[in-house]
Structure 1
């Protein structure tokens, strides 16, 4: 079984922008947002993905992701009640990649940094631009942001 181990943080400054090596626009919607399982469809640039995630167990959860044709992803996004619009910026640091999501639309103003780890207790470089950890705050789950956007907090 595939396991995702991820920590999520707010940002303390924009200093991360100087280290970005790639940025991609993402459209992302949810076909299911049940707390026990989410089913996400994503169009990342010109590539589609379908992802099933299990319930969070701390910072770990089951994750299964499959590529799908871009046209199929676009058609599935049309089935989603709300579609997130964000730009994902990648920053490499200490042998790991930070994914920094800058949200647009109803979630504009929200920027979060995520890091996927090889184990729950893995050490990682904590950059100066990193702010408070929000891994355990369900308001920052993308599935929650699709239902209750940042602009309505």
Structure 2
């Protein structure tokens, strides 16, 4: 069984750009979304695509099953997504033995930048880079599923996006 264990943070400023890779565009939609599970489809700007099933209610750790699928099939599936198809560019940064994934959102969430770090164990304590801001692990407003299914038109939070500096 595959397990996803991750912590999620807002990004503070733009210093991360100096250490990030070139990034890849992602389009992501949900085909099924329930309180304790979701089925999503993603297409990547480099031609990859995948179908991912996530099961679990805890914010830190869930079962995750991911399958590569044909890009044409994935693109067609996105037409059937419920809610909004999210658009983002994902960058990676290696920091003190951990890979940080930074998602810079476009579309209706333009300006929002979130950093996630995947862990091998819930006990892992990665060093937090200086460009990482407030932790939002478990804050549903920053869940991709909630963002995609939200009827809001402005963004997931009532506070400004922390992108100055």
TM-score by length of 1: 0.95
In the alignment, is residue 43 of structure 1 matched against residue 46 of structure 2? Answer: no
Contact conserved, 1:52 with 1:64, CA < 8 A, in 2? Answer: yes
Residue 25 of structure 1 is matched in structure 2 by: 25
In structure 1, the residue matched to 2:12 is 12
* Number of residue pairs matched by the alignment: 153
Contact 1:4-1:116 at 8 Å conserved across structures: yes
* Aligned match for 2:119, one of 117, 120, 141: 117
* 1:59 and 2:68 aligned: no
Distance in structure 1 (CA, Å) of the matches to 2:25 and 2:153: 19
Deviates most, 18-27 or 55-64:
55-64
Aligned counterpart in structure 2 of residue 105 of structure 1, from 107, 114, 125: 107
Structure 1 contact 110–150 (Cα < 8 Å) conserved? no
The correspondence of residues 66-81 of structure 1 with structure 2, limited to 5 A, is: 66-81=67-82
Task: Note the aligned Cα RMSD (angstroms).
Answer: 1.3
- Scaled by the length of structure 2, the TM-score of the pair is 0.89
Query: Aligned partners of 1:150 and 1:42: how far apart in 2?
Result: 22
- Report how far residue 44 of structure 1 moved: 1.3
CA distance in 2, matches of 1:85, 1:117: 25
Aligned to 1:151: 154
Deviates more, 1:49-58 or 1:4-13: 49-58
Deviations 1:42-89 (A, max 9, x none): 001211100000123240000000000100100101111320000001
* Distance in structure 2 (CA, Å) of the matches to 1:62 and 1:73: 22
Q: Which residue of 1 aligns with 2:160?
A: none
CA–CA distance in 2 between the matches of 1:56 and 1:114? 18
Does the Cα contact within 8 Å between 1:108 and 1:151 map onto a contact in 2?
A: no
Following superposition, the deviation at residue 131 of structure 1 comes to 0.4
Counterpart in the other structure of 2:134: 132
